[in-house]
Amino acid sequence: MKNLLLRINDRIYMTCIWVAGLSVLAIALIIPWGVFARYVLGTGSSWPEPTAILLMMVFTFIGAAASYRAGAHMAVAMLTDRMQPQMRKAASVFSQLLMATICLFMAIWGTKLCLSTWNQFMSSMPTLRVGITYMPIPIGGVLTLIFVLEKLLLGDQSNRRVVRFDLVEENEGAA
């Protein structure tokens, strides 16, 4: 069961990395187009800036979930490094519970924010609902919560090598 959960979370983690990476790539392509359209073509496009902002939200919240699982988030360990092992474990559990609370807050209130702004449309992109633009908040909260629960229940996975799925599926089929 543990291996199944870890494989599922590995897929979620890799999906988060791909979504965040593709968001940055799209931003890197969209912004130069906006500059080119404005200064070379002389016709400013209205969509590059709001699209880049929306992609930055996707990158931030989805990338933060992946960063959390990888152990690449910001952590100040000056105090905990000097604690006794039992106190260090208690502080770790306490911080994970605080993180789970923050994730629940993001998921619940982020969903309420999406629902309350669903019938509004963005002025710069009239076909896009405002509620959709806030969706990275609750999605990022749920994804990070999955990784927090994984850390609480299965331990820290930041030093474990992520299994390549194509090799696993081939090996399982051969057995």
Percent of the chain with pLDDT over 90: 57
Residue 174 above 80 pLDDT? no
Looking at residue 129, what DSSP letter applies?
B
Residue 134 above 70 pLDDT? yes
Mean pLDDT of 54-69: 95
> Using CA atoms, how far apart are residues 44 and 27, in angstroms rounded to an integer?
17
Residue 39 above 60 pLDDT? yes
pLDDT at 125: 85
Residue 102 above 90 pLDDT? yes
> What DSSP assignment string belongs to 98-117?
HHHHHHHHHHHHHHHHHHHT
pLDDT band at 165 (very low <50, low <70, confident <90, very high): low
121 bridge partner residues: 129
pLDDT at 175: 47
Nearest partner of 19 among 135, 164, 149, 154, judged by Cα: 135
Q: What is the mean pLDDT of the chain?
A: 88
Select the more confidently predicted residue: 107 or 40.
107
Mean pLDDT of 136-141: 97
pLDDT at 163: 62
